[in-house]
A and B are shown apart, each in its own frame.
Chain A
Amino acid sequence: MNRQLLAVHAFLRDSPIPYLLVPLVLAGPVWLADRLPALGQTELAIIAVFLSLAMALLWGRGPGLFTAVGSVATFDYFFVAPLHSFAVDDRRYLLTFSLMLAVSALGGEATAHLRFRARRVAAREASVRVRFELARDLSGCGTLEEICQTADRAIQRELGAGALVLRKSPSADGLAPALEADLLVVAQQLLQAAWMPVADDGAPRRLPGRAAWVVPVQTANHVLGLLVLPDGRRTPRPLVDLESVESFAALIALALERVAHVDLAEAARQQAARSEVRHAVLSALSHDLRAPLSSLCLAVETLARNRDQLTPRQASLVDECCEGTRRMHRMTGNLLELARFQAGGIRLRREWVPFDEVLAASLAHGGAAAAPGHLRVTMEPEPCMIHVDAVAFERVLWNLLDNARTHVGPAVVVTLAAVAQDGQFLLRVEDDGPGLPAAVAQRLQQGSDGSLAAPGGLGLAICRAIVEAHEGHFAVTAPVTGAGACFDIRLPQVAWRSPSAAGSEVEDHIA
C-alpha cells in the first residue's frame, strides 16, 4: 500500500502537475483573508512563507520556488496598498518582500535537499533489501535450474528486463524469456568465444553496436555467465546504480559456484562409496579364496612329505597336485591384483629401492630358482636405484620371468637390461624363446582386454596395469637378438636423494 502511494507520488513529482497546483495554493490566503477579516498582514505573510516551504517539501525545489515568487506577488497585489496593484507606496514593504522571498527560497532549498537525501537513503535501503531477498532466495536453491529460475524472477521484478545467460545452461531455450532473440545470440556468442569485454576489471560494459549492457557473473577465477540488460529505459529502481547490478551478479555467481561445489562433493562421495564397496568385495573374495587354497596346499604338501610310503604313480599324481595348487595360487593372486587395479583407487607406495633387491624378491617368490646362466642381468649404474612400489613392481618382474619359464620351458635364458638415467628408468626383458604370437602382441599393444584370453595374457595385462599406474609405459617390442619375446618398461623417476650425507654422519659416529 505504502509502496503504491510512493509510486504515485514519484510519478506526480516527475510530471508538470505540481506546477498546476501552485495557483490553487496561492488562492488559499486570499480566500482566507476574505472569510476571516481579523487576519492581519503579519499572519498572511507567515502563511505565504509556510505555503512555499510546504510546496518545496512535497514537490521539490521547482514548485517551492515558484510558490515563493507567486505568494510575494499575491501578497503585494491583494494586501499591500495600493490594493489590486503591484505598485508599493511604502518602500519598507520592499524589504518585507525581499525577506519573504529569501526565507521561502532558502527554506525550500534546504527542505528539498533533505528530501533528496532521505530519498537516497530510502533507495539504498530498498536496494539492500532487494539484494538480501535475492541472497535469501538463492541460498534455498539446490540445483542449477532453481538458481536460474530465482535469478530470472528477481531480474524481472527488480530490473524490469534482462536475462541471465550461462556458459553451461541447463535449458538453453527456456532461460532468457525477457531477452530479445538477437541479444541472447550475441551473449551466447560472447560466452562461447570467451571474449569477455568485462572480465578484465569486472565492470559492466556496453555491448558494441548494441543497446544493451553486459555484467559478468564471475567468480575469482572464471566467468560463469553474463547478465544482459537491454538499454533504453530508466535506471532500474530500486537498484539505483550499476554498482547494485554488479552485486546482484556477484550473488548469482556465488550461488552457482556453491551448487557446483555441492555437485563435486556429491560425485566424490559416490566415487568413494563405490570404491569402498569394491574394496570390501575384493578383500572378502581374497580372504575366502585363500583359506581353502591354504588347506589344499598344506594337504598336498603333507602327502608329498610322505612320498616314501606312496606308490610311484601316487607320487607323480601328488607332484601334479603340487604344481596345480602352486599355479592356482599364482593365478588367484594375479586375478585379484588385476581386479584391484582395474577397480581403481590403488595407492602406490613408491619408495627408492635397488633394482636388484626387487628382482631378488621376485625370484624368491617364484619358488623355483633360476639355474646359473639362465638369467643375465645388466644394471647401470650400480646400485641401480628405482622409485617404485616394491611389491607391485616385484609382481611385474615375477610375471615376466614366470611367463618365459612357463611358455618357453625351464631352459629359457632371460636377459634383463636396467638403465636409470635422466629421470627415467628403462628396463628391457628379453627371452630366447619363440616370441609372442603376433595377435597377442598386437592386442596387448592396444591395451585390449582380448589379450587376457591368450596364454600368459593375464600376467602381461597386470604388468601393463602396474606400469601404467606408475605413470610409465609398457610395450612389446622387436627383440634385439633372436626371435624371443621382448618387453620394454619405461618409468619416469623423481630426483634421487643421495644417502651419502646420512651415511657419513653415522660412520663418523661409529668411528
Chain B
Amino acid sequence: MWHPDVILPTRDRAAPPKAPVILIIEDDRQLRRLLTRGLTEEGYRVFASEAGRGGMADILRRQADLVILDLNLPDMDGMTIIQEVRSWSPVPLLVLSARQEDTEKIAALNAGADDYLTKPFSFGELQARIGVALRRRRQDAADLEDFCVGDLQVNFTRRTVQVRGEAVHLAPIEFKLLAVLARNAGRITPHRALLLAVWGPQHVDDAHYLRVHMSNLRKKLEADPLQPRYILTEPTIGYRIAAG
C-alpha cells in the first residue's frame, strides 16, 4: 500500500513536550498538510486551523508560541484577525500572502504582524523567519548590548562597528540606522518606522533620505553591496538585517 512516508520520510515525529507550539491558520488543505508535516519534522508542536474564527480560539487554547496566518481566509479578513489578536496577545504573527501587492504587506505589518512571506515561498525561508520570531519572543525584554552576525560586530555602548575584523567609521546617522535595524534583527523594519526612529515624525514620508544613507551604510559594511549579506532590501516596504 502506498504511504506518503515512503516518499517523505519523517525524522522524528514525536516532538519534545517543551517544543514551541506553532499554530497554522490556512484554508488551503494541501498547504496546511505540508506545512504541518514539515514543521513537525523540524521538532515543533504544530496545530492547524482552516478558518479565522476557530484559529483565533486555538491561539489561546493551544497556547501558541507563534502563529502562521494566511491573509485570505474564507470566513474573515486577515487584517481583522491581526488587529483582533493584537488587542489581546503579543504572540508573533507570521503572515502568508498570495498577493504581490505591497500595500497589503505594509498594512499587515502596520496592523501588528511580525513578518510576512509571499507564496510560493521556500521552506528554508519559512524556517529562518520562524527562528527569528521565536528568538525575539524570548529576548524581547533583554536590552541589546552587542550585535553579531557573520563578520559584523556592533557594540552599542561603545558605539563601535567591526567588519571582517576591521573597525569601520560610521556617521552618527548611519550608526543610528544600524542600531534600529539590529534591534529588529531578522525582521522587516518598515521605512516609516526607520524614518520615525531616526529623523522624527516630520520626515516619515521622506523615504529617499533613508535610501541614500542606507546605500552608504551598505557600501561600508558589505563586501559586495550588490549581493548584500547583512542589510537586505524588501522593496517598497523596508529593510531587514540578517539575524545573529
Determine if A293 and B119 form an interchain contact, defined as CB atoms under 8 angstroms apart.
Answer: yes
Residue of B nearest to A283 (CB): B99
Determine if A294 and B212 form an interchain contact, defined as CB atoms under 8 angstroms apart.
Answer: no
What is the interface size of chain B, counting residues whose CB is below 8 A from a CB of the partner?
49
Report which residue of A325, A370, A503 has the largest number of chain B beta carbons within 10 angstroms of its beta carbon.
A503
- Is residue B206 contacting chain A, with contact meaning CB distance below 8 A? yes
The interface-forming segment of B31-39, B51-59, B132-140, B150-158 is B31-39
Choose among B28, B213, B218, B226 the residue that contacts A375 (Cβ–Cβ < 8 A).
Answer: B226
Measured CA separation A389–B103 after assembly (Å): 13
Measured CA separation A265–B120 after assembly (Å): 41
The distance from the CB of B26 to the nearest CB of chain A, in whole angstroms, is 9
Query: What residues on B are CB-neighbors of A357 within 8 Å?
Result: 211, 214-215, 218, 233
Determine if A290 and B120 form an interchain contact, defined as CB atoms under 8 angstroms apart.
Answer: yes
Determine if A361 and B123 form an interchain contact, defined as CB atoms under 8 angstroms apart.
Answer: no
Determine if B38 and A503 form an interchain contact, defined as CB atoms under 8 angstroms apart.
Answer: no
Determine if A360 and B233 form an interchain contact, defined as CB atoms under 8 angstroms apart.
Answer: yes
A293-335 residues with Cβ-Cβ distance < 8 A to B are 293-299, 301-303, 305-306, 309, 325, 329, 333
Determine if B212 and A511 form an interchain contact, defined as CB atoms under 8 angstroms apart.
Answer: no
Determine if B171 and A507 form an interchain contact, defined as CB atoms under 8 angstroms apart.
Answer: yes
Choose among B31, B37, B213 the residue that contacts A291 (Cβ–Cβ < 8 A).
Answer: B31
The distance from the CB of B8 to the nearest CB of chain A, in whole angstroms, is 6
Query: What residues on A are CB-neighbors of B225 within 8 Å?
Result: 356, 360
Measured CA separation A359–B17 after assembly (Å): 45
The distance from the CB of A238 to the nearest CB of chain B, in whole angstroms, is 63
Residue of A nearest to B72 (CB): A287
Determine if B122 and A301 form an interchain contact, defined as CB atoms under 8 angstroms apart.
Answer: yes
- Is residue A377 contacting chain B, with contact meaning CB distance below 8 A? yes
Determine if A353 and B30 form an interchain contact, defined as CB atoms under 8 angstroms apart.
Answer: no
What is the interface size of chain A, counting residues whose CB is below 8 A from a CB of the partner?
54
Q: Secondary structure at chain A's binding surface: helix, strand, loop or mixed?
A: helix
Determine if B209 and A499 form an interchain contact, defined as CB atoms under 8 angstroms apart.
Answer: yes
Measured CA separation A375–B224 after assembly (Å): 11
Given A297-B120, A306-B9: A385 in contact with B211 (beta carbons within 8 A): yes
Query: What residues on A are CB-neighbors of B235 within 8 Å?
Result: 358, 361, 390-391, 394
Query: What residues on B are CB-neighbors of A385 within 8 Å?
Result: 208, 211-212
Measured CA separation A302–B39 after assembly (Å): 10
The distance from the CB of B216 to the nearest CB of chain A, in whole angstroms, is 7
- Is residue B43 contacting chain A, with contact meaning CB distance below 8 A? no
- Is residue A354 contacting chain B, with contact meaning CB distance below 8 A? yes
Determine if A352 and B28 form an interchain contact, defined as CB atoms under 8 angstroms apart.
Answer: no
Determine if A352 and B208 form an interchain contact, defined as CB atoms under 8 angstroms apart.
Answer: yes
Given A305-B123, A329-B120, A351-B207: A507 in contact with B215 (beta carbons within 8 A): no
Residue of B nearest to A496 (CB): B208
Residue of A nearest to B195 (CB): A502
Determine if B216 and A383 form an interchain contact, defined as CB atoms under 8 angstroms apart.
Answer: yes
The distance from the CB of A97 to the nearest CB of chain B, in whole angstroms, is 99
- Is residue A369 contacting chain B, with contact meaning CB distance below 8 A? yes
B107-154 residues with Cβ-Cβ distance < 8 A to A are 119-124
Query: Which 10 A-B residue pairings sit nearest by Cβ, starting from the closest?
Result: A352-B208, A510-B172, A499-B209, A294-B120, A294-B119, A354-B215, A295-B30, A297-B120, A290-B98, A390-B235
5 additional contacts (CB under 8 A) given A354-B215, A385-B211: A302-B8, A302-B123, A325-B120, A351-B208, A357-B215
A-B contacts, 17 listed (Cβ < 8 Å): A286-B98, A286-B100, A287-B72, A291-B28, A301-B122, A333-B100, A349-B236, A354-B211, A354-B212, A361-B233, A361-B235, A364-B232, A383-B215, A385-B208, A391-B235, A503-B209, A507-B173
